[in-house]
Structure 1
Amino acid sequence: MTLFSNVGIYVDRERSGRFDDWLAHLESVLVLGDFEESRKIILLHSKLYGEAADEFDNFKVENPISARIYDRVKERLIKLFHSTETRSKQSVEFHNMQREPEENMRRYANRIRKAFHLAFPIKSTIDKATAFSREQIMMDRFLEGLSFDVQNRLKYKEFATFEKLIEKAEMTAMAVEEAQVRSRLNAFQAKYVEPNREFTKVKEALDRLSTQVESNTHQKHLEENMEKMQRHLSTRRNVSFSQRSPQLNPPINKTGNLYFCDFHNDWGYHSINNCKARESQANDKCFRCKEIGHRANFCPQIKNLKPTPPEGYDGNGKKLPLFEERGN
Structure 2
Amino acid sequence: MTLRLATALCLPVLLAIAAPAAAASFDCARARAGAGGAEEKLICSTPALNAADAAMGAAYKALLDRLGGDEAGRGFARAEQRAWAGRRNRACGFGLPAGTEADSGFDDPAACLQVETERRTAQLAALRADPGLGARLRTVLLTEGKPRTRLSIRAERPEIADPAIYGAAFFNETARRFVEGEIKEFRKNSTDLPEGMEAELVLTADVHVTAPGLLSVQFRGEGVQGNGFRYAAGLTVDLGRGRVPTLAQMFGTGSWLAAATAACRTALEPEMAAECGGPELKDPRSWRFEPERAVATLLLPGKELREIAMPFHPPAR
TM-score (norm 1): 0.23
- Larger fraction in helix: 1
* Bigger strand fraction: 2
TM-score by length of 2: 0.24
Higher relative contact order (CA 8 A, sep 6+): 2
